[in-house]
Structure 1
Amino acid sequence: MRVLVVGGGGREHALCWAIAASPLLSKLWCAPGNPGIAEVAECVGVGATDIEALVGFAKSERADLVVVGPEAPLTLGLADACAAAGIPCFGPSAAAARLEGSKAFFKEVAVAAGAPTAHYAVFTEADAARAHIASRGAPIVVKADGLAAGKGVVVAMTEAEALEAVTDMMEAGIHGAAGARVVIEECLVGEEISFFALCDGTTAIPFGAAQDHKRAHDGDTGPNTGGMGAYSPPPAFTPALQEEVMATCIRPVLAEMARRGAPFRGVLFAGLMLTEAGPKLLEFNTRFGDPECQALMLRLKSDLLPALLAATQGELAHFDLRWEGLSSIVVVMAAEGYPVAPVTGSEIRALEAAAQVPDVTIFHAGTARREDGALVAAGGRVLGVAAVGASLREARGSAYAAVDVVDWPGGFCRRDIGTRGL
């Protein structure tokens, strides 16, 4: 098979890494890719949101499958454009991708499907939002309705924080158009889990769970980020809870989307809170998580490629995935100043030596090659140092051993990834 992966971050490196191992693969491209991805795929100089150029490339190269990594191309209609050109695409239509593209739409669908979720209200006027906060009190959660690169959520512990979030989003426009409308929710308490399911429009099958770490610094302090690390599987998410989530959240939402004429095909990423009253939906994303994808791919025993193809062809009903009986972890190394103002251009050394640590795989997220060939930071989240082990403790030890080998004074990481799982 000839496959084009769209994107250029750590998630896409993990997808390319897994797809490259498939005996069914004959050619693998990634657009735009990164230096790490270039080791397993041919990188193509096309941006991830250049829909016309991506489809044109896939047609000219006779791609058998397009696999979409990030959310932006999906909300812009890449899957629709591929369908119009007769190219199978792993990823939902723009109509189905609204589950991530609009938090208000997600809440509407969840309620219609009877899925358990937090009490909420939607606002387009800042004063009305402030009045709602005053009536509900804190803690309370303020979310930008649209896509904000994983940073449009404020868990406000005081009313003052919530009011500031409303001002920032709706009046200062820190998230642009994404914050013109906000969703304000009750603050749920419990363990937060990322759960994934492959969907073919009518059938969904589990694709594992992970626990992400959103705050920038140890002890869950500092600003929210796109994710500073993850581990899989999380002990708190038992097989019984997985089946409960499939029955109460995934399958009902899949049926509701089909009823609305927007069947969901691709991967449905449920952000869950395990509350005392049971699991509740925080959000849906319509693509693999980053860095959760890296942790999941390390544990997947099945060939990924036929699973992705089955999702595009409506053939998941009898598909069975196999998993290694291992734990995995990924520690994100980010550029100083991330997430507010990451400093790019700093040189990264000794990566080859770090990759020699047993059971370690290093995924590139935001790297580039300088003219002299040196590897440099080119983004906020730069590397994902990942490892597997017979236990989470073993995997964690290997990952941090590799982190300590990396020679990068311009980077930082959290030192407590996975501790909750221990």
Structure 2
Amino acid sequence: MSSNAVQIIAQQSRAASRELATVSASRRNLALAKMADALESVKQQVLEVNGLEIIKARDEGQTDAMVKRLTIDDKTFAYMLSRLKKVAQLPDPLNRILAGHSNPAGLRVYKKSVPLGVIGIIYESRPNVTSDAAGVCIKSGNAVILRGGSEALQTNAILTDAMVAGALAAGLPPHAIQIIRTPDREAVGELLQMDDYIDVLIPRGGKGLIERIAKGTRIPVIKHYDGICHLYIAADADPARALALAVNSKCQSVQVCNALETLLVDKQCAEQLLPPLQAAFSQHGIELRGCEQTQKLLTDISPATEDDWHTEYLAPILSLKIVDGIQQAIEHINHYGSGHTDGIVTQSLSLARQFEQQVDSASVMINASTRLSGGGDYGLGAVVGISTDKLHVRGPVGPDELTTYKWVAHGDGHLRD
């Protein structure tokens, strides 16, 4: 794809964004419904093409985790449709009055929510990002340019073409949803230079991809870095609850960004809890790597190195560390964590409050699985990722998070004195 072709896509998206910003909430919701219907009509084609891309990925030696992220089955497809329908049911994120007042001279001033404009989303492996991204962007009145990975090129193209047809049937402007259809990496490089037309880039994938995007563009980037997620089991934690939360946080789905990677156990309950924890994780095929104190209490456990505390495994591996109280747990999390999701298991309101106030993370879970941090369980419908940035958004990125605001002042011939 030539640089001129990428520029044309960017220019078309800019034009579409101007028009889309004026489209009513009811029409945007109608578009989301028609997008879901259009996807339903191409389901069999999607499954067949995705199946071929899965075979190709395996033949090329892709990991099981990569293949799983690439796969669309009946359950995944139903989930994709449900996310579009749920995001349509959310309140309109646009034209909300965020603040306002009348000054002593009678000038009425207010701040209202508006779209960001054009969102570029660059992602790897997960075709469900195609529908999630389109849904969140349309709901929030943004035009979107999609660039998925080469491993799901055809699947993403079919999904996008169907959603474009649905959006057009609802009367949305042409080019509100676009996709770059080439696997050439040069196209990504060209996209990064389109700062005249693209307002925000959102990369979804490995740390290497995100770093390349952030370093190679002047466009603001919402970054979704590692999910080095922790769970701290306090001394007073209920043993059964602690066991259930730890196992669910790690084992429910090991290859996702909010899966548990390091378990911190208070030294006062370590001797009681570590053996049943080891047994439970063993049943799920989880390899444990422990600190020196943990190795004294558990047999057949590998030593945890300094690198382990810094690692997002996305695999059936878990690091274990015994800590001397909540303050040491907090210090470990703030030093080694990625600011994604960290949790505590405790019966103490004061410990929960201390943890919530001092842990520097986008999501803090109190007596809840780390796997619950995300758009669905937070009531956001579809999201385009979980930001570990602090500007412009932090945590799950849904429709509200893809808005900015403008100031409006209503006067009656008011003049500056």
Normalising by structure 1, what TM-score?
A: 0.30
- Larger RCO (CA under 8 A, 6+ residues apart): 2
Structure with greater Cα Rg: 2
Higher helix content, 1 or 2: 2
